[in-house]
Structure 1
Amino acid sequence: MDEAKKFLRRLYQQGKSPLQNKSMNHNCQLGNFARVREAIGTDALEEIKKSSLGFMRKLNDSDYVWSTKTEYFLFTCQLAIQNEYEIWVAIGGQPIRFSLYDFAKITGLNTDAMRTKDCEADYTSFWTKLGVPHGVRPKYDELAKCFGRCPGWDLPEQKMLGMLCILHMSIHGVHHNSRIPLETAKRVFKDEDIADYPWGRVAFKSLIDGVKIVQYEGSSYTVNGCVHALLIWAYESITVFGERFGKVLQPNEISFLRCGGTRTCEDLDKVISKEIEEHGEVRVRRMIMKPLEEIYPT
């Protein structure tokens, strides 16, 4: 059997996806950054933008536009694969892989191998100031309650509050009432613990898990993780999507800041069909296919 054919078993039969007639939500809401910006102030925000967690802040400052319809289309085209660290989609018969390597190229985040050393930080007093119980992981709802009083805090505390919000909203991308891991939350106390940590791996795993284990009960479903990276990957990898909807803003930037995107009402199946009529196939730009042991070292 041709190797490519092995990848062409769809996760859902065409037209029979459990996503049919359901609305899609996600927790990586860029609109929440406006509240954080207003609360912590310009000085703290500028400090965050200089750090490795500033990528999402920059995206929010750009003219990027989220497109639910395009992302929904990707989900319905997923292929059934064994590897838990990748997503494959088939667009017009062309199998395309979304991996940690692609995520790193798009976001610019550090995706080095995870360290085993725990972060040591005395967070007790700051947790008390935040209203987070000692030994408990923070959640966005608790952090948001500080927005009204944090303008009177000193700059390092404002910066730490902003970073905790970014960790919750973009790195983990979980529900506002969910708690983020204490190990990552404690890193906001030291710049060096933020700078050299592989946030890309943390964010990528949250996104992959969010896509693979999403629950489809009810009339809507919610995806965790930095869903914007997957959408921009589609603009970068599927030529017709990039041409029609990608809206390149800053050609010399990383992908995360290069594409603007547009909302679309077009039937994407028809867009793909016309692409095949005009070019004989769906034009795709395949990312470098690195061996798995290089991407996910043990």
Structure 2
Amino acid sequence: MTTRRRRPGKEHVGEEDKPGGRPDERLPERLFATDRYPSRRLNVYSSLNFLVAVKDVLRGTPEMDRIMGSCFGKLFELPVHRCSYPSVMIHTLLARQLVTKKRYEAWPVFGGNPLRFPMVEFGRVTGLPCGEFEEGYVVEMKPKYKEEDYAYWDKLFDSRRDIMIPDVVQMVTEDLTISRSRRLKLCLIIIVDGVLIASTHPARPTLKHVKRVENLKNFLAFQWGRESFYWTATDMIPPKRVMGVCDDPPGEFCTKLRQKTKKMTGLPLALQLVAYECIPQLLARLGGNDDLKIIDCESLPQHTGLNLVDVLEAEHHSELTVQPMMEIGPNKPDGWGELDDEIHDRRMKNMVRLIEDGHNFTKSMWRGGDAAEDLYDHEKHKAANKRKRQRRVSTYFRRPTLVDDDKYDELVARFDALEKVVVWMNKRLGRRKRTGVTPRKEIFCSGGRVKEKKKNSAGAAEVEEQRDKTKSPIVKDVGEDVSVDVDDVGIGNEKLPAESEDVEAEEEEDSEDSVGEDVESEDDEEEEDGEFSGGEDVEAED
């Protein structure tokens, strides 16, 4: 007889944390305790962009019609708005699942209601065949190959052993010499190894699939839904217990879900499609409609779909409804969606019986789980967010009582001074708009203009000053004013003479009459400037 070891961080939450009744011992335990879930992201290897690439390459050809009529046709009929990147959505569902003995079933509990994700639901939402494999076929995760197995590989990929699925997409897009049958086979490899059974990043072709595509009839008749589900379920549930290798499968799976990212092989998008189908509140939060299909879109949208806030709002919705299981549907062969090596679980059988009897599940019925994460209280979280929004608004309306009297008087005085400056600037701007006077024109028209001849360098200025001392001034009869080049006149010019202070004082006067007179005399003064500068040039030549 063996005893089950309690994994680190695991606690059984009692009645004080689960109001409304005692946990039901007949039901399976949670992976994480109720409302104590981590929030991380997943690294999904599958990409629906490969479907768009295949559609673009084969648009309007008989090869595309053949694909649409095969088991892969429903993939191109998926609604675009339900196919957003499933990282956050799927992680929240995996963290809410139950710990069972099942090897190929995931049972998330959303808002206290269980939701089944077996092969039946997988085949229902993807349209892929999930019947029995052909006699003797076994899913091998890491098969071993011989050199002679690469004969058709070299023929199909031009002996490129390291080719990736993006390289195959580039090959069928750019190489126009490829035959139609070869192009179809390459596109089928893109669908299988890039979308359904993506096990590496970046995705690469699988040798056994390349060998199978040599015969198109056998390739299209293969049970690709069952094969894809094997790879998908492997990363969605805790692994098998192996003594000395994996002693605590639930604990190791919890550790992986706490990592920054966790890899996901296969087609995990199927779990998101099942959630949208069975939980109307999630689909309502997503919005949009199902009119646009992948076959009709030019490119998939870049939005990430629902975020964590949307999922939590839907989970705590007052009218939350969850359909626990989906029906297989008519006209399915025997063994469709069933697995021979599945394990019987007594607690799971009790739960299915309660579901069939229409039992009303609540959060308080579920026990156990890793309780290392903080407890999430939705009502307190909503109240805290509301206070944060109010606090952000209130920061713009500070009351004077928040500071002392001296500080308040100082701020008021500074505000009054700034208000006077603003009033003065508005008057100046209004006057300039009416008269068209610029600051440079105001200096010329103010009557206190002083002109100074522009010097090319400091040395030339000293030589000119020495010559003026030894000889009689050339412009003595003209006046004491010295010419100033127009380019040197402006606001903030450090070379202005002392008379410019009077000019600045006159600028501060708010008299429209004086400005008008200055504007009228502007043309006359500019003519005098020409005479002065002309006289100076003549003297300089002499």
The verdict on how the C-alpha distance between 1:185 and 1:150 changes in structure 2, with shifts beyond 3 A counting, is same
Is the contact made by 2:285 and 2:310 (CA closer than 8 Å) also made in structure 1?
no
1:157 is matched with 182
Q: 1:263 aligns with which of 295, 299, 305?
A: 305
1:189 partner letter: E
What are the residue-to-residue correspondences of 1:67-78 with 2, within 5 Å?
A: 67-78=86-97
TM-score when normalising by structure 2:
0.44
CA contact (8 A) 1:27 1:222 kept: yes
- The Cα shift of 1:137 comes to 9.8
CA distance in 2, matches of 1:112, 1:29: 25
Superposed displacement of residue 39, structure 1: 4.8
Match of 1:219 in 2: 260
Instruction: Give, as a single letter, the amino acid of the residue that structure 2 aligns with 1:169.
Output: G
- The structure with the largest alpha-carbon Rg is 2
Deviations 1:75-110 (A, max 9, x none): 221111110110001111111211111111111111
Alignment of 1:140-155 (within 5 A): 140=165, 143-144=168-169, 146-147=171-172, 149-155=174-180
Other structure's SS at 2:306 match = coil
**Residues 36-51 of structure 1 mapped to structure 2, 5 A cutoff:** 36-39=54-57, 42-43=60-61, 44-51=63-70
Contact 2:194 2:203 in 1 (8 A): no
Question: Residue in 1 aligned with 2:102?
Answer: 83
1:262 offset after TM fit, Å? 8.1
Indicate conservation of the 8 Å contact 2:104/2:233, yes or no. Answer: yes
CA 1:283–1:156 in structure 2 vs 1: closer, same or farther (change >3 Å)? Answer: same
Task: State the Cα distance separating 1:42 from its structure 2 match.
Answer: 4.6
Cα distance in 1 for residues equivalent to 2:339 and 2:259: 39
RMSD of the TM alignment (CA)?
3.5
1:296 corresponds to: 338
Distance in 1 (alpha carbons) for counterparts of 2:96 and 2:163: 36
Q: 1:58 to 1:137 in 2, by over 3 A?
A: farther
The Cα offsets for residues 6-64 of structure 1, whole Å up to 9 and x where unpaired, read as 445221234655x53x332311212233444445665243432222223333338x454
Alpha-carbon contact 1:137-1:181 (below 8 Å) kept: no
**Which blocks of at least 5 consecutive residues in structure 1 are unaligned?**
251-259
* Distance verdict in 2 for CA 1:246–1:206, change over 3 Å: farther
- Measured after TM superposition, the shift of residue 211 of structure 1 is 2.0
Asked if structure 2 preserves the Cα contact closer than 8 Å seen for 1:137 and 1:185, the reply is no
Aligned pairs for 1:1-298 (under 5 A) are 6-14=26-34, 17=37, 19-20=38-39, 22-39=40-57, 42-43=60-61, 44-59=63-78, 62-66=80-84, 67-117=86-136, 124-125=151-152, 127-132=154-159, 139-140=164-165, 143-144=168-169, 146-147=171-172, 149-177=174-202, 179=204, 181-212=206-237, 215=256, 219-245=260-286, 247-249=288-290, 263-265=305-307, 266-275=309-318, 279=319, 282-288=320-326, 295-298=337-340
For residues 144-180 of structure 1, what are the alpha-carbon distances to aligned partners after superposition, in whole Å with 9 as ceiling and x for unaligned?
4524553221111000000001011222022244555
Give the Å deviation of 1:208.
0.7
Distance change >3 Å, CA 8–CA 218, structure 1 → 2: closer
Kept in 2: contact 1:245–1:262 (CA 8 A): no
2:327 & 2:71 partners in 1: Cα distance?
26
- Do the aligned residues in 2 keep the contact of 1:110 with 1:198 (CA within 8 Å)? yes
Q: 2: CA distance between counterparts of 1:143 and 1:195? A: 20
How much identity, in percent, do the aligned residues show?
Answer: 19
Is the CA contact (8 Å cut-off) linking 2:44 and 2:264 kept in structure 1? yes
> 1:247 offset after TM fit, Å?
4.7
Q: TM-score by structure 1 length? A: 0.75
1:85 counterpart letter in structure 2 = Y
The 2-side partners of 1:238 and 1:148 are apart by: 39
**Residues of 2 paired with 1:65 and 1:107: CA distance?**
12
- Letter of the 2:264 partner, please give it: V
Aligned residues: 273
